[in-house]
């Protein structure tokens, strides 16, 4: 695991599989924003807690593949907010390399860094 330092936040990336109306979102669809579950944060971060679901720019921070989990290390200022909408939270799943969901295999393309 990675422990964040200073103003950094480490999140496990999440992906929406369904819209709030129940429509299945295909893997080829791209959300303009990313979602992540907070795993750790540095001492300079005061308004987050472990387990919060946050919203950030889809290409923000640094992506890292650790084991089969896609993590993203963000600066605190890259975070748009904390997700509180329960229906959207229910539509999010953890990204895992080779994991098979009801919709099929989730593929992660070109992570910026792979850590084993």
Residue 36 domain flag: yes
- Residue 88 phi, psi dihedral angles, 5° rounding: -70, -40
Give me the residue label for tokens 């001492």: 43
Evaluate whether residue 2 is within a structural domain: no
Tell me the average pLDDT of the chain.
79
- Which pTM does this prediction carry? 0.74
Give the domain extent around 36: 8-115
- CATH number of the structural domain spanning residue 82: 2.30.33
Structure-block tokens of residue 31: 């959300």
Number of structural domains (the chain) is 1
Q: CA 9 to CA 88: how far, in whole Å?
A: 21
Residue-wise pLDDT for 12-69, tens only, equals 998 877 666 776 666 666 677 889 999 999 999 999 999 999 999 988 999 988 888 8
Domain-located, residue 25: yes
Q: Is residue 34 part of a domain?
A: yes
The answer to whether 7 and 45 have CB atoms below 8 angstroms apart is yes
């Amino acid at each position: 695991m990675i422990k964040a330092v200073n103003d950094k936040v480490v999140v496990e990336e999440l992906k929406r599989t369904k819209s709030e109306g129940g429509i299945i979102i295909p893997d080829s669809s791209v959300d303009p924003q990313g979602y992540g579950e907070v795993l750790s944060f540095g001492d300079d971060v005061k308004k987050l807690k472990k387990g919060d679901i946050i919203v950030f720019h889809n290409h923000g921070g640094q992506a890292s593949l650790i084991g089969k989990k896609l993590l993203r290390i963000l600066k605190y200022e890259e975070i748009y907010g904390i997700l509180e909408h329960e229906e959207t939270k229910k539509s999010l799943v953890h990204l895992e390399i080779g994991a098979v969901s009801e919709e099929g295999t989730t593929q992660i393309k070109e992570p910026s860094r792979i850590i084993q």
